[in-house]
Amino acid sequence: MLEDYKKRTPKSEKLWFRANKVFAGGVNHNIRNFGMLSAGAYPPYIKSGKGSRIWDVDGNEYIDWWMTHYSDILGHCHRSIVSALRAQLEECIHIGALNEHQVKFAEELQEAIPFLQKMRFCTTGSEATMYGTRLARLFTGRKLVAKARGGWHGGNDAVGFHVSHPYDDEPYYNGLSFDFNDAESVTSLLKQHGKEIAAIIVEPVMGAAGGIPPTDGFLSFLREETEKRDILLIFDEIITGFRLSYGSAGSNIFGVEPDLLTLGKIVAGGMPFGLYGGREDIMGLAAPGAKGGRWVGGGTFSSHPLSMTAGLATLAELKNRTSQYTQLSQKGNRFKQKLNEAFDNVGSNNLATGFGSILFISCLSKRIDEPLTGTKVGDVFDHQKQDLFQAYLMEMGIFGYHGLGAMSFVHSDEDLDKTLLCAENAASKLLGNE
Ligand SMILES: Cc1ncc(COP(=O)(O)O)c(C=O)c1O
């Protein structure tokens, strides 16, 4: 397989050789260094994308499930986003002053998510969670931030800990963790530290931890427990926002409103973007000169006109898709079920997880029961098999990370059928059946 791959990807191999001379680990995002590395291979370099398909520099075509880290729900290079960007480029790239688009964009977002009483834009999701947790500390006068084990909220020091199993790294700065879907683990943490915790930050559906949906009532339990103790609840909806419905999954799908919210990815149509916002009394501390406030915000590229215009074009496309969102989620759930049936058929422990259009496949050393938690998945996660599974899929023309990725509005039945067949085939190969 390695020999075949090398034959098909000579340009990627040359680029990878050069990349390792200039980048630590050859990449600028850790997960992009790809599961074939341990077998002596290298990642494909991607040149272009259209709809659900992408092409590497050697001309190989892939069905893309990664979809720009879950951002491209409309498919790659959607017509209206490209034309909005072209029109903006004729005006300016970025001036570093105010622009009209940012006001319109914020108004649209507030209309979609009314509890965003006030918001701030930044350039990445990592900045959004950094500023969100900073505001929580300022507002409550408390130091600790708690997160769910396995959760990825970006690379900043406030939340970039206990991401990888066994979650025993020393937090950089005043951090604690608990298990998602495990009320006991939350209660025991709150018993010990309830008075020192400024905020609990969670994704309504956990992403990088393995596509873990909340059990019934878990998010409302977090809401009640935080409210009782004057702890702020932050929903990190950088993946779930505008993916499961038009707006916040926390409130639209699970019926829970947080105090603060972070958004990114989908919202700006594939351009760099982050947002933190929510209750006006908390967000007021971000205003210049606010009593009790500290420096919050900044960023040379915040409210970049290209991100604003791509975001406006994206929201215009998504706004009237209420029934299509439902269909997409149903299609995602059905696909997940079919994947699990296929894994059962070949006797594989692989598990497809997720919620609606969020789709993960984890290679596990043994089966686990619901409810899923970051620790439960981490305990039995087989990294070597996962790498090989990704490599097999890639070889068959399926591109994804974390086992798969996210379904977009443009993934066709043909894309799904081919992916299902390849996933079954790859699972079977992992068992040594071919
Ligand atoms: C839930 C979640 N929060 C935060 C981030 C960080 O966002 P960014 O990569 O834009 O810094 C990510 C990125 O993958 C994410 O999935």
Q: pLDDT tens across 287-308, in order? A: 999 998 888 998 999 999 999 9
Q: What pLDDT does residue 130 have?
A: 98
Q: What pLDDT does residue 343 have?
A: 97
The fold for domain 2-77+322-430 equals: Aspartate Aminotransferase, domain 1 (3.90.1150)
- Looking at the CA of residue 154, tell me the nearest atom of ligand 1: 6
Is residue 359 in contact with ligand 1, taking CB distance under 6 Å?
Answer: no
168, with CB counted inside 10 A (0-12, 13-18, 19+), is exposed
- At 41, the pLDDT band (50, 70, 90 cuts) reads confident
Closest residue by Cα to residue 122 from 302, 357, 313, 331: 302
Nearest alpha carbon, ligand 1 atom 7: 125
Q: If you measure from the C-alpha of residue 154 to the centroid of ligand 1, how many angstroms do you get, rounded to a whole number?
A: 5
What CA–CA distance (Å, rounded) separates 4 from 23?
Answer: 26
What CA–CA distance (Å, rounded) separates 240 from 235?
Answer: 10
Q: What pLDDT does residue 319 have?
A: 96
- At 36, the pLDDT band (50, 70, 90 cuts) reads confident
Average pLDDT taken over every residue of the chain: 96
Per the CB < 8 A criterion, the answer to whether 69 and 46 are in contact is no
Nearest alpha carbon, ligand 1 atom 13: 154
Mean pLDDT throughout 416-429? 97
Per the CB < 8 A criterion, the answer to whether 247 and 253 are in contact is no
Q: What pLDDT does residue 31 have?
A: 87
Is residue 152 in contact with ligand 1, taking CB distance under 6 Å?
Answer: yes
Nearest alpha carbon, ligand 1 atom 3: 153
All structural domains of the chain with their residue ranges? 2-77+322-430, 79-318
Q: If you measure from the C-alpha of residue 153 to the centroid of ligand 1, how many angstroms do you get, rounded to a whole number?
A: 5
- Looking at the CA of residue 125, tell me the nearest atom of ligand 1: 7
| Pair of tokens at residue 229 | 């103790």
141 contacts: CB under 8 Å, gap ≥ 6? 198
Mean pLDDT throughout 36-50? 88
Q: pLDDT tens across 162-200, in order? A: 999 999 999 998 999 999 999 999 999 999 999 999 999
Q: pLDDT tens across 85-113, in order? A: 999 999 999 999 999 999 999 999 999 99
Laid out side by side, the sheet with 46-50 consists of 46-50, 53-56, 61-64, 398-399
Is residue 207 in contact with ligand 1, taking CB distance under 6 Å?
Answer: yes
pLDDT over 70 at 219, yes or no? yes
Q: What pLDDT does residue 2 have?
A: 82
Q: If you measure from the C-alpha of residue 266 to the centroid of ligand 1, how many angstroms do you get, rounded to a whole number?
A: 11
Closest residue by Cα to residue 382 from 347, 349, 339: 349
pLDDT over 80 at 215, yes or no? yes
| Pair of tokens at residue 293 | 């406030």
Is residue 126 in contact with ligand 1, taking CB distance under 6 Å?
Answer: yes
Q: What pLDDT does residue 192 have?
A: 98
pLDDT over 90 at 237, yes or no? yes
Q: If you measure from the C-alpha of residue 268 to the centroid of ligand 1, how many angstroms do you get, rounded to a whole number?
A: 13
Taking CA atoms, 99 is separated from 45, 116, 277, in Å, by 35, 20, 19
Q: What pLDDT does residue 68 have?
A: 97
- At 434, the pLDDT band (50, 70, 90 cuts) reads low
- Cα radius of gyration (the chain): 21
Out of 145, 152, 206, 301, give the residue to mutate to test ligand 1, the one with the largest number of ligand atoms within 8 Å of its CB: 152
Out of 126, 301, 402, give the residue to mutate to test ligand 1, the one with the largest number of ligand atoms within 8 Å of its CB: 126
Nearest alpha carbon, ligand 1 atom 8: 125
pLDDT over 90 at 48, yes or no? yes
Nearest alpha carbon, ligand 1 atom 15: 153
Is residue 123 in contact with ligand 1, taking CB distance under 6 Å?
Answer: no
pLDDT over 90 at 123, yes or no? yes
Which residue in the block uniquely carries the two structure tokens 């894309």? Answer: 415
Q: What pLDDT does residue 21 have?
A: 97
The fold for domain 79-318 equals: Aspartate Aminotransferase; domain 2 (3.40.640)
Lowest mean pLDDT among 115-119, 156-160, 327-331, 385-389: 385-389
**Amino acid symbol at 97:** A
Taking CA atoms, 122 is separated from 63, 118, 252, 296, 371, in Å, by 31, 14, 24, 11, 35
What CA–CA distance (Å, rounded) separates 373 from 179?
Answer: 6
Q: pLDDT tens across 358-373, in order? A: 999 999 999 998 899 9
Is residue 151 in contact with ligand 1, taking CB distance under 6 Å?
Answer: no
- At 432, the pLDDT band (50, 70, 90 cuts) reads confident
pLDDT over 90 at 425, yes or no? yes
- The partner residues of 355 in beta bridges, in order of sequence, read 358
